[in-house]
Structure 1
Amino acid sequence: MQDHNVQANAPSPFSPLTIGPLTLRNRFIKSATNEGMSPGGVPSKQLAKFHGDIAAGGVGMTTLAYCAVSPDGCTLPNQIVLDRESLAHLRVLTDTVHRHGAAASAQITHGGCFTFLQPQQSARPLSASGGFNKVGILSGMFRKQAMTEADMHRVADEFVRGARLAREAGFDAVELHMGHGYLLSQFISPLYNKRRDPYGGSLDNRLRFPSLVLRRVLDAVGKELAVVCKFSITEGVRSGHTAEDGAAIARILEREGAHLLVLSAGMNVESATTMFGSSFPKENRVTVRNPIVAAGLFIQGLIEPKVAFHELYLLEHARKVRAAVKMPLAYLGGAKSLAGIDNLMGEGFDAVALGRVLIAEHDYVNKLQSGVSRDSICTACNRCVAMMYTPGGTSCVLGQPGDPQLNSQGAAT
């Protein structure tokens, strides 16, 4: 285990960082957070403004959350699908980000059985294994379908097509989402993957399909774009994989050639508090109109344990990954002060991914660099998550809500 004391030669978080073919101006990355700013699946003017404001606020790179690689890859209505129809709107977003000196990353993913939409290409939602679909309790799709090898190659092709479209739209990086219970995570997770063929059983086998997707995307765009993988170090639930497994996953992804790993944790259904590091409030200033989402939030509030936030809540787990690999790592999980960020640099992490902090203060990085601020105003109350379902999209309840009018217009219109 590496020394947890601060390294004497730790880099400044404001220094450049090279990941694959991409060099960032600093080590701050806006993590992917679903923004609710793509009505009809089209990136809105509000979405372009949101990421442009965060770029102007000083980050090295901002990540556009959940760009589905196919219509069947969506989990909810109004999510972006990487297709020709969204291309011009995505180009407005990347141009806006670049104008402010930051890089733009597209998180490309597929929801698998974690979806509330009826699939078009199969009778049931696809997953690593078939059988009962617990997510389907809310949507009426009570069964899921195990993917065949033909399904896997078709979906891998969709990831490649999505990555190429992201490159065409002006993105500098793509992030493959391998965590939180989406499709690639469903193969990695022992909770979801019960296969008895070469794609199930051992961790190496469970990583076989996600590794295939990673290799295919690297072959397609890896010379021009940074190829990032986001995964759950620990699933935070009994019978799920542990941080020791997370370190082994990182070694496999390093071996396969990923340029950067974003270290998250938890699962959307089973362990959201592991992901966010704090409980969701029962009282909320937001009325969620989607009845399925409202029911999900209510049930989550009943079953999730009460967890009080503390800064750097995933550090103990992330250290195990840092000790296991030499490749660049982005720490994600409750960094909200300059002292905490300097601590992460000292522990050997190469970048810091920020979510709620940058929703609360788009210019937090500039404030840190200028010395205006050291601590974020973010209280980790998690109300910004429910704000995603308001007409203006995601915002912090301590600030101004998003503009519903801008959020109703496509970015390129």
Structure 2
Amino acid sequence: MSGDPFSPVAIGPLTLRNRFIRSGANEMMSKDMKPTRALLDFHAAYARGGIGLTTLAYVAVSKDGRTLPGQGVMSADSLPHYRAVTDAIHAEGAKASAQITHGGSFCQIADLSTRRAMSASGGIDKMGVLMGRFFQRAMTRADMDMVRAEFAAAARLCEDAGFDAIEVHMGHGYLLNQFISPLSNKRRDAYGGSPENRMRFPAEVLAAVKHATGGRLAILAKINLTDAVPKGATVDDAIVTARALDAAGADMLVLSAGRNIESTWAMFGSPLPYDDLAAMQDGWFARLQFAILKRSVPKLPPFRENYLMEQALALKAGLGTSPMKLAYLGGVQSLVAAQAALDAGFDAVTLARALIHDPHMIERWRTGESKVSGCNACNRCVAVMYGPAGTHCPVVGNALAPELKDIFAGETVSHAA
């Protein structure tokens, strides 16, 4: 199976104008838990630049689901602001996806509603120590019912806000991944132990999201192909995850890898600029944490395009004849690499860094103006993500997208505006 990168593709009830999806990657352009004018301009630029579907990254399903204080939360209060963003995306001919998730114990917020953050299991709270919160608590059945309902409620609000798709984030060490990964799930009940048991609660959440939207929106899930560290989830585990999500009603899986603390390098196929990240921290303890993370990175080969292809193909083979769509993610920086992913049988290509470098790249590829991204995978966009300007490429600034010159307006924007 192969496809023209610029041909339409159906994902459940949704049809995209081409096979390119802007992957969710924290934009940090929210204020008071609402999207800003900057976020609207940011995604409108991708839509104008030719993307088929652009993903608003990390839309928390509740205040406790945030990872950082001002992060966007899907609520009745924020709905008109998100509607303004989806209207702007639609006006440029693209579709909009909301990446909804819950951070669980992976959060740095001081105003949690409980003394300890929730996770699959109790124990040391690796992120909470930065807030003086040293322990996390294992979720009860009541907690799981509450969070499942929060995902469903957020999904209904996403539909009202004009989103065409919902991506349930189950990777990278956030709450649902805290259930899937044996690195964090030490439960001894029906939600722990085997890969099938560890996957049970995330599958319940996706089924609830599917039911809440009644098949009217495309339902995607972002999963890990591998945790990429000893005792972490493997590709065999990912196949179990994929089968469970297929049965729960997922229309497409986005295939990623790595966890935010243990193996961030696996997400990007190259190390993060830990020195840059450390320099942005206020306290010595936070700077020390990044120094420790830097020392934990294994010796990596040079960055290469399509660096997750082997694992992605293994999962694809494990799914057999399943009609569920698969989106390849991992180091696509040229039209040749995108075509290779489609020729390998994947239905779409997801990418972020190359688009951060040039929001108009897809249109340039379509017209033949260029075929290769200028992104060098330095990952400095990840470091500046948490600064006042939000996500951008510090190598080129915003020179390739003049409309983003003053990217951080810092003002929320409602539908009425």
TM-score, length-scaled by structure 2: 0.93
Closer/same/farther in 2, CA of residues 301 and 285 from structure 1, 3 Å limit: closer
Please, which moves more after superposition, 141-150 or 241-250? 241-250
CA contact (8 A) 2:9 2:17 kept: yes
2:73 alignment partner AA: V
In 2: Cα distance, 1:338 partner to 1:63 partner: 20
Please, which moves more after superposition, 293-302 or 228-237? 293-302
CA contact (8 A) 2:170 2:222 kept: yes
1:400 aligns with 2:408: no
Structure 1 residues without counterparts, runs of 5 or longer: 1-6
Deviations 1:101-132 (A, max 9, x none): 10000000000011112453322100001122
Deviations 1:379-400 (A, max 9, x none): 0000001111222211101222
Query: Which residue of 1 is the match for residue 401 of structure 2?
Result: none
CA contact (8 A) 1:235 1:267 kept: yes
In 1: Cα distance, 2:123 partner to 2:386 partner: 31
Q: Which structure 2 residues correspond to residues 13-412 of structure 1 after superposition, within 5 A?
A: 13-118=5-110, 120-282=112-274, 284=276, 288=280, 291=283, 296-307=289-300, 308-325=302-319, 326=322, 327-401=324-398, 406-412=408-414
In 2: Cα distance, 1:226 partner to 1:405 partner: 29
SS in 1 for 2:162: coil
Closer/same/farther in 2, CA of residues 55 and 274 from structure 1, 3 Å limit: same
In 1: Cα distance, 2:115 partner to 2:278 partner: 35
Deviations 1:267-297 (A, max 9, x none): 0000000111101235549952565765544
In 1: Cα distance, 2:395 partner to 2:125 partner: 37
Please, which moves more after superposition, 278-287 or 183-192? 278-287
1:95 alignment partner AA: D
In 2: Cα distance, 1:221 partner to 1:294 partner: 43
Closer/same/farther in 2, CA of residues 120 and 397 from structure 1, 3 Å limit: closer
In 2: Cα distance, 1:395 partner to 1:107 partner: 19
SS in 1 for 2:158: helix
1:382 alignment partner AA: N
1:399 alignment partner AA: V
CA contact (8 A) 1:173 1:226 kept: yes
2:307 alignment partner AA: Y
Closer/same/farther in 2, CA of residues 253 and 306 from structure 1, 3 Å limit: same
1:304 alignment partner AA: V
User: Displacement, 1:250?
Assistant: 1.0
- The list of structure 1 runs, each at least 4 consecutive aligned residues, that deviate by more than 3 angstroms after superposition, is 118-121, 282-287, 289-299, 401-406
User: Displacement, 1:40?
Assistant: 2.2
CA contact (8 A) 1:118 1:124 kept: no
In 2: Cα distance, 1:133 partner to 1:120 partner: 14
SS in 2 for 1:209: helix
In 2: Cα distance, 1:244 partner to 1:170 partner: 36
Closer/same/farther in 2, CA of residues 340 and 405 from structure 1, 3 Å limit: closer
TM-score, length-scaled by structure 1: 0.94
User: Displacement, 1:91?
Assistant: 0.9
SS in 2 for 1:324: helix
Structure 2 residues without counterparts, runs of 5 or longer: 399-403
Closer/same/farther in 2, CA of residues 62 and 290 from structure 1, 3 Å limit: farther
Closer/same/farther in 2, CA of residues 290 and 227 from structure 1, 3 Å limit: farther
Percent of pairs identical after alignment? 48
SS in 2 for 1:154: helix
In 2: Cα distance, 1:405 partner to 1:132 partner: 38
1:322 alignment partner AA: K
1:300 alignment partner AA: L
In 1: Cα distance, 2:31 partner to 2:405 partner: 13
User: Displacement, 1:50?
Assistant: 0.4
1:247 alignment partner AA: I
2:296 alignment partner AA: I
SS in 2 for 1:138: helix
**Once superposed, what is the RMSD of the aligned Cα atoms?**
1.8
In 1: Cα distance, 2:10 partner to 2:116 partner: 42
SS in 2 for 1:170: coil
Deviations 1:20-72 (A, max 9, x none): 11111111000001011102222111100000000111111000000000000
In 2: Cα distance, 1:286 partner to 1:42 partner: 27
| Matched residues, number | 405
In 2: Cα distance, 1:23 partner to 1:322 partner: 22
In 1: Cα distance, 2:380 partner to 2:42 partner: 17
Closer/same/farther in 2, CA of residues 294 and 354 from structure 1, 3 Å limit: farther
In 2: Cα distance, 1:285 partner to 1:297 partner: 7
In 2: Cα distance, 1:37 partner to 1:247 partner: 34
